[in-house]
Amino acid sequence: GESVGLHLPTLSVQEGDNSIINCAYSNSASDYFIWYKQESGKGPQFIIDIRSNMDKRQGQRVTVLLNKTVKHLSLQIAATQPGDSAVYFCALKGSGSARQLTFGSGTQLTVLP
Protein backbone atom coordinates (compact mmCIF):
# COMPACT_ATOMS: atom_id res chain seq x y z
CA GLY A 1 0.00 0.00 0.00
CA GLU A 2 0.90 3.64 -0.01
CA SER A 3 2.30 5.44 2.97
CA VAL A 4 3.62 8.88 3.50
CA GLY A 5 5.76 9.92 6.41
CA LEU A 6 7.31 13.08 7.70
CA HIS A 7 10.63 13.48 9.41
CA LEU A 8 9.58 15.85 12.17
CA PRO A 9 6.17 16.49 13.72
CA THR A 10 7.07 20.05 14.77
CA LEU A 11 9.37 22.76 13.47
CA SER A 12 10.09 26.17 14.97
CA VAL A 13 11.87 28.88 13.00
CA GLN A 14 12.67 32.52 13.54
CA GLU A 15 10.73 35.03 11.48
CA GLY A 16 12.71 35.82 8.37
CA ASP A 17 14.61 32.52 8.32
CA ASN A 18 14.07 29.80 5.74
CA SER A 19 12.03 26.71 6.63
CA ILE A 20 12.50 23.21 5.27
CA ILE A 21 9.84 20.56 5.77
CA ASN A 22 10.61 17.02 4.68
CA CYS A 23 8.51 14.07 3.62
CA ALA A 24 9.24 10.46 2.66
CA TYR A 25 6.98 8.23 0.62
CA SER A 26 6.96 4.54 -0.22
CA ASN A 27 5.02 4.18 -3.48
CA SER A 28 7.40 4.51 -6.41
CA ALA A 29 4.42 4.53 -8.80
CA SER A 30 3.21 7.89 -7.51
CA ASP A 31 3.48 10.54 -10.21
CA TYR A 32 2.06 13.64 -8.61
CA PHE A 33 2.92 15.24 -5.28
CA ILE A 34 1.34 18.17 -3.48
CA TRP A 35 2.03 20.27 -0.43
CA TYR A 36 -0.92 21.56 1.58
CA LYS A 37 -1.12 24.10 4.38
CA GLN A 38 -3.78 23.71 7.04
CA GLU A 39 -4.58 26.43 9.53
CA SER A 40 -6.57 25.73 12.65
CA GLY A 41 -10.25 25.23 11.91
CA LYS A 42 -9.78 25.27 8.15
CA GLY A 43 -9.46 22.73 5.40
CA PRO A 44 -6.13 22.03 3.68
CA GLN A 45 -5.06 24.75 1.24
CA PHE A 46 -3.01 23.93 -1.87
CA ILE A 47 0.49 25.43 -1.82
CA ILE A 48 2.45 23.86 -4.65
CA ASP A 49 2.63 20.64 -6.62
CA ILE A 50 5.20 18.73 -8.63
CA ARG A 51 5.02 15.90 -11.12
CA SER A 52 7.41 12.98 -11.10
CA ASN A 53 9.12 14.11 -14.31
CA MET A 54 10.47 17.14 -12.47
CA ASP A 55 12.87 17.45 -9.55
CA LYS A 56 12.27 21.07 -8.60
CA ARG A 57 9.47 23.58 -8.85
CA GLN A 58 9.32 27.11 -7.53
CA GLY A 59 6.43 29.29 -6.51
CA GLN A 60 6.14 32.50 -4.61
CA ARG A 61 8.51 32.08 -1.62
CA VAL A 62 8.12 28.29 -1.84
CA THR A 63 10.16 25.60 -3.56
CA VAL A 64 9.41 21.91 -3.74
CA LEU A 65 12.19 19.40 -4.34
CA LEU A 66 11.57 15.82 -5.38
CA ASN A 67 14.18 13.08 -5.13
CA LYS A 68 12.68 9.97 -6.67
CA THR A 69 15.79 7.90 -6.03
CA VAL A 70 15.33 8.06 -2.27
CA LYS A 71 11.59 8.80 -2.42
CA HIS A 72 11.92 12.11 -0.64
CA LEU A 73 10.02 15.36 -1.00
CA SER A 74 10.76 18.68 0.65
CA LEU A 75 9.10 22.06 0.94
CA GLN A 76 11.25 25.12 1.37
CA ILE A 77 9.70 28.38 2.52
CA ALA A 78 11.85 31.47 2.11
CA ALA A 79 11.77 34.34 4.59
CA THR A 80 9.23 32.65 6.82
CA GLN A 81 6.49 34.94 8.10
CA PRO A 82 4.10 34.66 11.07
CA GLY A 83 1.29 33.89 8.64
CA ASP A 84 3.14 30.75 7.60
CA SER A 85 2.46 29.17 10.99
CA ALA A 86 0.27 26.14 10.26
CA VAL A 87 0.39 22.39 9.77
CA TYR A 88 1.95 21.35 6.48
CA PHE A 89 1.06 18.09 4.77
CA CYS A 90 2.65 16.38 1.86
CA ALA A 91 0.28 14.31 -0.22
CA LEU A 92 0.58 12.07 -3.22
CA LYS A 93 -1.91 11.11 -5.85
CA GLY A 94 -2.82 7.47 -5.59
CA SER A 95 -2.52 4.98 -8.37
CA GLY A 96 -6.14 3.90 -8.00
CA SER A 97 -8.89 4.96 -10.36
CA ALA A 98 -10.05 7.74 -8.06
CA ARG A 99 -6.63 9.32 -7.84
CA GLN A 100 -7.43 10.20 -4.25
CA LEU A 101 -4.81 11.89 -2.13
CA THR A 102 -2.74 10.04 0.44
CA PHE A 103 -1.58 12.44 3.13
CA GLY A 104 1.29 12.33 5.56
CA SER A 105 0.70 13.05 9.23
CA GLY A 106 1.78 16.68 9.04
CA THR A 107 4.42 19.03 10.43
CA GLN A 108 3.40 21.87 12.73
CA LEU A 109 5.41 24.94 11.72
CA THR A 110 5.70 27.67 14.35
CA VAL A 111 7.23 31.00 13.41
CA LEU A 112 8.88 32.74 16.34
CA PRO A 113 8.98 36.55 16.51
Partner 1 sequence: GAGVSQSPRYKVAKRGQDVALRCDPISGHVSLFWYQQALGQGPEFLTYFQNEAQLDKSGLPSDRFFAERPEGSVSTLKIQRTQQEDSAVYLCASSLVGLGGEQYFGPGTRLTVT
22 vs 44 by CB, closer to partner 1: 44
Is-contact 98 33, C-beta < 8 A? Answer: no
Is-contact 18 77, C-beta < 8 A? Answer: yes
Binding-residue pattern over the window 57 to 86 for partner 1, x denoting contact by CB under 8 A: ------------------------------
79 vs 88 by CB, closer to partner 1: 88
Is-contact 12 99, C-beta < 8 A? Answer: no
Q: Is 37 in the site for partner 1 (CB under 8 A)?
A: no
